[in-house]
């Protein structure tokens, strides 16, 4: 199991990462409330990546072994810059990027900042934040307020795709388990900063076309962002699109098709 026991300074945060293997670098960025261990290790993605790649997994700021900060301005665009600063720290001119959920939104923003630093991009369970609705922005604000008070029941219920939804006592217990060992104030600040990841489809399309960047979009058919991924594909046709039938936002990375699609994509798009 990879451990994130290497550290570097990125802006005002001390960030943790792990690495293994040799070859073309692949940087992994995980989702909200997750970490390298729980996103990539538990789901088997790390073990599935071929040994010919140098796998570099970042614990996003506020997550895992990285430093937690409590202001909205400590997150947002800073998280997109963290990916580039990690590359600078490791003296990497370019790297493949494999990202999931919040990590995908971070990577989409990194794409619009410095597409030339990417050898390929895999957007898993997220499409870049170009599609916020007024209702979602209000929900984000409400959920951030609740997190500041040490609970995340509203977030859990909004993201729950199964039926029936958990009852009051069950969702409180799920919230307790999800927040165990985590900094709720940091997660509140991250939640509040999510609108700061906003990009436009035009920016993404221009960055992809300017660099002829290979992009894979992979998502579960039951993911709440599945329709947005389909729209992204329709607007930027050169994106490769894989939809995992019956998979949700939470379990798609553990699906064999996810691992197979990602490894096949990386093998088909070596660095020039």
Tell me the C-alpha to C-alpha distance, in Å, between residue 151 and each of 20, 59, 70: 35, 22, 16
| Strand, helix or coil for residue 202 | helix
* pLDDT at 51 (0 to 100): 86
| Strand, helix or coil for residue 17 | strand
* pLDDT at 161 (0 to 100): 79
* pLDDT at 1 (0 to 100): 73
* pLDDT at 238 (0 to 100): 97
Domain positions in the chain are 6-132+197-268, 134-188
Rg (CA), the chain: 17
- Positions in the chain short of pLDDT 70: none
pLDDT > 90 in the chain, percent = 94
* pLDDT tens string 221-253: 999 999 999 999 999 999 999 999 999 999 999
**CATH classification of 6-132+197-268 is 3.90.1150.110, yes or no?**
no
* pLDDT at 50 (0 to 100): 85
* pLDDT tens string 61-101: 999 999 999 999 999 999 999 999 999 999 999 999 999 99
Q: Name the residue with tokens 């430093």.
A: 67
252-260 contact pairs (CB < 8 A, 24+)? 252/124, 252/125, 252/218, 252/219, 252/220, 252/223, 253/39, 253/40, 253/43, 253/45, 253/100, 253/124, 253/125, 254/42, 254/43, 254/44, 255/220, 258/45, 258/124, 258/218, 259/44, 259/45, 259/48, 260/48
């Amino acid at each position: 199991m990879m451990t994130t026991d290497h550290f570097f300074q990125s802006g005002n945060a001390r960030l943790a990462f792990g690495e293994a293997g040799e070859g073309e670098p692949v940087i992994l960025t995980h989702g909200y409330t997750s970490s390298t261990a729980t996103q990539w290790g538990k789901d088997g993605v790390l073990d599935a990546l071929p040994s010919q790649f140098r796998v570099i997994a970042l614990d996003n700021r506020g997550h895992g072994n990285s430093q937690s900060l409590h202001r909205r301005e400590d997150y947002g665009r800073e998280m997109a810059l963290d990916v580039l600063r990690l590359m600078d720290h490791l003296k990497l001119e370019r790297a493949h990027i494999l990202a999931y959920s919040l990590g995908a939104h971070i990577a989409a923003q990194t794409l619009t900042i410095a597409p030339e630093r990417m050898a390929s991009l895999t957007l898993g369970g997220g499409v870049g934040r170009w599609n916020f609705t007024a209702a979602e922005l209000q929900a984000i604000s409400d959920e951030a307020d609740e997190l500041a008070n040490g609970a995340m029941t509203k977030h859990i219920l909004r993201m729950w795709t199964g039926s029936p939804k958990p009852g009051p006592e069950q969702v409180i217990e799920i919230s307790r388990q999800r927040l165990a060992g985590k900094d709720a104030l940091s997660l509140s600040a991250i939640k509040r900063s999510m609108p700061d990841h906003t990009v436009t489809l035009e920016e993404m399309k221009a960055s992809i076309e300017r660099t002829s960047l290979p992009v894979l979009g992979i998502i579960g058919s039951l993911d709440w962002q599945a329709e947005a991924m389909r729209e992204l594909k329709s607007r930027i046709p050169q994106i490769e699109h894989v939809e995992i039938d019956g998979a949700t936002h939470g379990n798609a990375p553990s699906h064999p098709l996810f691992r197979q699609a990602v490894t096949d994509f990386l093998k088909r798009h070596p660095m020039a």
